Amino acid sequence: MNPDADQQATVAVIDDDTIVREGLRALMPMHRVTCAFEHHSEFLAERPSVDLVVLDLNLDGVGQAATRHGATAIADVRDAGYPVLIYTNENRRLVLAGCLAAGADGVIHKTQSLQELADAITAVRNGQTVITPALTGLAEAIDRYGHLPALTPRQRQVLAGRARGKTFRRVASELGISEKMAHEHMSAVTTKFANYLRTHSPTDLERTLGLAQGDLLHRPTVEESSRPSA
């Protein structure tokens, strides 16, 4: 069922994959994909009137070079006045964290369902920050070291559940709160996490976690990717 018109977002898709560009127009009726581009420079040349941009993370390199490349596209689109939702196959946590540090409003994986993508679009349109399970685990680790200030006990409980792969419904049931309230607590956590990332470098992040430089750029194996984030 399509949502009411006032719940729909108008979306621009920037992706070098033709199937993604054309497919999202047809497969996501809950929002209106009004235009699609192969590169962000084409989007910026046209500057269409949309609520937000779903942006593929086109990485031409690896490691820090890849992070800088992605950050450039994010910053360019954000500076033009558009909220940005990253839509990617990238799994390395430091690269994903770099997206938020560069100003992205959310990160979602292409392996997630279309409903999850639609929900992420709604959240970003409403001014919320969206993160993947991998980044949820990273947020919990940062908080464990005392670097996410002012999280309430309930926010920490919701974060812990989500970091272990639990659904919002299960987290809400275990905590005796509504699913809507669980979402609201997690939204507050992700906002504070994104703000932290925007004021700390990748080196700061790894130093905080007691990791060697480059550890967060480790690309997970298939087996590791299937595990809940810790």
Mean pLDDT by 10 residues, the chain (230 residues): 60 90 86 90 93 80 46 89 93 82 90 90 92 85 78 93 91 95 92 84 70 50 39
CA-based radius of gyration for the chain: 17
| Burial of residue 26, with CB atoms counted within 10 A of its CB: 0-12 exposed, 13-18 middle, 19 or more buried | exposed
Asked if 1-130 and 132-219 have one fold, the answer is no
pLDDT of residue 213: 60
* CA distances for 176 relative to 83, 154, 165, 190, angstroms: 33, 11, 18, 21
| Residue 12 β-bridge partners | 35, 53
* CA distances for 67 relative to 51, 58, 61, 64, angstroms: 25, 10, 9, 5
pLDDT of residue 4: 45
What whole-number distance in Å separates Cα of residue 122 and Cα of residue 202? 29
pLDDT of residue 100: 86
* CA distances for 42 relative to 13, 14, 156, angstroms: 11, 9, 42
* CA distances for 66 relative to 3, 37, 72, 200, angstroms: 37, 21, 10, 18
Domain ranges for the chain: 1-130, 132-219
At the top level of CATH, the class of 132-219 is mainly alpha
Helix (H) or strand (E) holding 106: strand 106-109
pLDDT of residue 221: 41
Q: Architecture of 1-130 per CATH?
A: 3-Layer(aba) Sandwich (3.40)
Are the C-beta atoms of residues 69 and 59 closer than 8 Å to each other?
Answer: yes
pLDDT of residue 30: 86
